[in-house]
Amino acid sequence: MPPPGSGVPPLTIDEKMTIARWIDLDAPINAGDGGVTTYGWFLDEIRPTLEVSLPRAGTTPGPLAMIRIGVADAHGVAPGSLSVTADFPVAGRAAGAELADLATPAGDGIHVIAVDPPLGIGGSGRVHAKVADLQGNVTRVDRRFSVVDAPPPGSPPACPPSPTASCAVAAKASFRVRAKRLAWQWTGSDAGSHDDLGDPVAGTTGYALCVYDAAGTLRTGLGVPAAGRCGARPCWRAVGSGYRYADRRAGHDGVVGVALRAGAGRRARLKLKARGPALPMPALPLGGGATVELRRSDAASCWRARFDEPAADGPTRFRAATPTRDTSRVGTGRERVALGGSRDRHAAAGKAGAAERVRPTCSHC
């Protein structure tokens, strides 16, 4: 601040913040041409935005017919700085060749490169993109992917608006949702025969996991289509009395694994796990309970588990099991500590009494 009575106007709030910012940056100095160089504390230190929206990371529906890229920067993208390469042939150019000059504008900052011939189902590849802004900041994207079958129309099934009473009921089940992760397990007295599971390997059987809240309102649904390939391998395979689905890249609604086993008694077991950004998370909490159903796409078969007393039902986490654990004979933590302490005191008293009884007497001690 200027000295009192100096007649110099005080600093404005913007001037004070400018000085604070300058000190924050270790008091850099522009010099050489009146402070108009591209260096110093007015430096653009934010990298440009670069996004490869097609192909998608992990699995992408095929065949792949284009590469789609978006670029943006508040201060401007450096002309001619966009670079795109692929490890597979594109438009007659060998793998690794520059493709940026083939890009055609498809919107504000959006560029499209036609892949001719298209990359077919089961193929995999890698696309590398790079762009710079006027300051020289560079952003790079390295996209690895595999091409898979697009989900067949109408499969998996849509979830009904409310739970179905005719579904097979679980004898034992668990359901957990937390931090973009979901896991459901069903164990029943009878999941039906092998035929009741359909044929997701060579047939048209898809599945949907439907999640309802305590009031019976549909909160979300996860779909797993029939057949298809997950990377270089088929998504589904037959195992024993059932089927298994595996997709480490979580290409369909985040589902990474499904296990279906038919049979009677506790041998009947169904499992589903999902995770990642593609998972359509249910809005939490679920109102003090939930009903979860697994449904077939090509038949009326379904399997249901109801959770009326969740162990956790908050804005970020749901955890429940059925039947709920009977804790009436276990006691609280304090009770167990108190009982343990009481037993310890009685044991110590007994040892002290025994020692007193065997201690030798000494009349002259």
Q: What is the tens place of the pLDDT at every residue in 44-92?
A: 778 999 999 899 887 787 789 999 999 999 889 999 999 999 999 999 9
pLDDT at residue 38 greater than cutoff 70 = no
**Distances 360 to 89, 244, 352 between C-alpha atoms, Å:** 98, 74, 14
Confidence of residue 1 (pLDDT cuts 50, 70, 90): low
Between residues 330 and 96, the one the model is more confident about: 96
SS3 170: coil
| Confidence at residue 183, expressed as pLDDT on a 0 to 100 scale | 97
Q: What are the phi and psi torsion angles at 36 (to 5°)?
A: -110, 20
**Least reliable range by pLDDT among 100-104, 178-182, 186-190, 286-290:** 186-190
Q: Is the pTM of this model over 0.75?
A: no
DSSP annotation of 227:
S
**Distances 144 to 60, 82, 86, 93, 216 between C-alpha atoms, Å:** 10, 19, 10, 19, 41
- The amino acid at residue 114 is A
Distance CA 225, CA 239 (A): 18
| Confidence at residue 220, expressed as pLDDT on a 0 to 100 scale | 93
Confidence of residue 355 (pLDDT cuts 50, 70, 90): very low
Distance CA 165, CA 62 (A): 38
CA nearest neighbour of 294 among 360, 175, 209: 209
Residues 6+ apart with CB under 8 A from 350: none
Round to the nearest angstrom and report the end-to-end CA distance of the chain.
87
